[in-house]
Structure 1
Amino acid sequence: MTNLIVHEVADLNAADLTEILRESTEEGHRHINRLLREYITGTNRFDQESEALFACRMDHRLIGICGLNRDPYAEANIGRVRRLYVLKEFRGHGVGRRLVEAVIHMASSHYSKLVLKTDNPQASEFYKRLGFREISNNGLVTHELQF
């Protein structure tokens, strides 16, 4: 796919998440709704040191989003992948890969490890293809990537 641009989001209020929110809710996912709620309330704006929120656009259409936070569950210097979502029609075209690669690139300069939690088997395989190792017996982490 050409015309794909991944960029850091400076102000989520300026991004039109309407389509992503609608589709993710229809699929039964709550994490984009949580992303918006936490951003609006100030709970998580991805604006702390070594944090970022990335968006992928095709032309001017927002087609995917993914964030990087300092892991709130760890005391060590660990980053956490947060709120990845790609519109259905763009899955399998490298959008998710490019978003997570942007997160990995930034995280590798600031953290010793990057972690995430997913209960989706397809997402698990996706992260493993990107180099993440599956973790068992940890309620807060299912995958990690050491730097």
Structure 2
Amino acid sequence: MVTTMGELAIRQISALPPEILEFEAEAVTEGFRFLTRLVADWKDGSNRFDQPGECLFGAFRNGQLIAIGGLSYDPHAGSDIGRLRRVYVARASRGQNVGKALVQQLLEYAAQRFRVVRLSTDTSEGAAFYLRCGFLQIQDDFATHMKSLVDAT
């Protein structure tokens, strides 16, 4: 699955791009450790987003990785509930709808298997971003936001 918007291409990836280490270093300077976990889990094989219904997408501009995000089963919920994980947009690409396009692609993929997608964020910027993407804020020990992927008819 590839979505192209001008010079932006969002595609499913099955290997971490070489620039992931630069991405990780940038995230660490902002106080985020989740890309460190992504790299470590990938290296030891504990999470490669390769189980049924899971995926890892990258957003690329002119062939350069500018955003990444994954979808997995939510280990704290039912089998029909997915979880967005490791969503990160490079600082230089923020405010350009890259993150929103990436999340939309992840949600389209999720809709094939899950009825709800949940996530957890610990920043006010992240919370505001996910509200703009159509998520609802929730009170839960393991998630801060959720989005239903089925019509409530």
Are 2:145 and 1:133 aligned?
Answer: no
From 139, 143, 146, the counterpart of 2:145? 143
Equivalent residue letter for 2:64: R
CA–CA distance in 2 between the matches of 1:11 and 1:23?
A: 20
The CA deviation at 1:16 is 2.5
Give the 3-state SS of the residue equivalent to 1:100 in structure 2: helix
The CA deviation at 1:22 is 1.2
Aligned length: 145
Q: List runs of 5+ in structure 2 lacking aligned partners.
A: none
- TM-score normalised to structure 2 length: 0.90
Q: Which residue of 1 aligns with 2:104?
A: 101
Equivalent residue letter for 1:83: R
From 21, 40, 43, the counterpart of 2:43? 40
Higher RCO (C-alpha under 8 Å, 6+ residues apart)? 1
The CA deviation at 1:10 is 1.5
Superposed structure 1 runs of 4+ greater than 3 Å apart = none
Give the 3-state SS of the residue equivalent to 1:19 in structure 2: helix
CA–CA distance in 1 between the matches of 2:83 and 2:97?
A: 21
Q: List runs of 5+ in structure 1 lacking aligned partners.
A: none
From 47, 55, 76, the counterpart of 2:58? 55
Q: C-alpha offsets along residues 26-85 of structure 1, whole Å, 9 cap, x if unaligned?
A: 111100000000111111100000000000111121111000001111133100000010
Are 2:21 and 1:23 aligned?
Answer: no
- TM-score normalised to structure 1 length: 0.94
Equivalent residue letter for 2:12: E
Q: Which residue of 2 aligns with 1:70?
A: 73
